[in-house]
Amino acid sequence: MLLRSVLNRFPTQICSKTRQFQTTASLAKVEDRKQMLASLPEKDEGTAGEKSIGIDSLVSSRTKNLFVDADTPKKLFNGVPFCELPICNIRVSPNNTIVSLSDHKGLIQMIRSCGIEGFKNARKGTNIAAQATAISLSQKAIERGIKTVRVNVRGLGPGRMSAIKGLQMAGMNIVSITDSTPVSWNPPRPRKQRRL
C-alpha cells in the first residue's frame, strides 16, 4: 500500500531512473537575472578583449633598445653609464637564496640571505623567502642612494623570479637581467632510482 502511494506520487523518478532538477523561486526570477547581467563587467574590461596591436611593428621600432650592441656600455641610465652601474647578484639554490649588491668592479657592498631574514630550514628555499630577502636588500640600497642596478641571476631554484620581483617591488630600477647559471655539457651520472 505504501509503495503504491509512493509510485503514484513520483512515477518518473523511481521507474525510469531519470533525475529531475528543481530551481528555487529566488534564482528563477527574471528581474534578478537582468540585474546580475547589468552588474557584470563589459567584455572590454580586464585581460579579455584587449585591443590587438601589431607586435612586429613594435619590435622593429624598439629593436635597437632591446638587444645589446657595441654602444651599450656607454649608454646612460639615470646619468650613469651602463658599464658603471652596480650589479645585484642573485644566487639561487633549491635550499636558499643569497642576494648581494656589488659595484661595477665586483666588490661586495651588502649581502642578504633568507637565513639572515629569519627563515629557517626548508622555508629558506621558498619563493616568499627570496622575495622578502630581495626587498630588504633593495630598501637598504635605496637608503644608500643606489636606485638603478643590473641583475645577475645564477642557479636553479624556486626563488629566481620572485627575487627579481622583490627588487622591483621595493623600487629598484632594473636595467638588464643576465642569467649566468653554469651548464655542464657532461653532467655527473644521476643516482639510481629509489626503491619503495
Domains of the chain, earliest start first: 70-179 (3.30.420.80)
| Assigned C-alpha cell, 89 | 647578484
pLDDT score recorded for residue 45: 45
Contact 88/147 with Cβ under 8 angstroms? no
pLDDT score recorded for residue 41: 60
Question: Which of 3-12, 40-49, 143-152 is the most confident on average?
Answer: 143-152
Cβ atoms within 10 A of the Cβ of 90, count?
A: 26
| Assigned C-alpha cell, 2 | 505504501
Residues 6+ apart with CB under 8 A from 182: 154
Residues 6+ apart with CB under 8 A from 15: 7
- Say whether pLDDT at 119 is over 80: yes
- Say whether pLDDT at 175 is over 70: yes
Q: What is the pTM of this model?
A: 0.64
Q: What is the pLDDT of residues 154-170, one digit of tens each?
A: 999 898 999 999 999 99
Contact 84/146 with Cβ under 8 angstroms? no
State whether residue 100 is helix, strand or coil. Answer: strand
Q: Which one is predicted more confidently, 83 or 31?
A: 83
Contact 135/169 with Cβ under 8 angstroms? yes
| Assigned C-alpha cell, 184 | 655542464
Question: Which of 29-33, 66-70, 164-168 is the most confident on average?
Answer: 164-168
Q: What is the pLDDT of residues 75-87, one digit of tens each?
A: 888 888 888 899 9
Contact 180/117 with Cβ under 8 angstroms? no
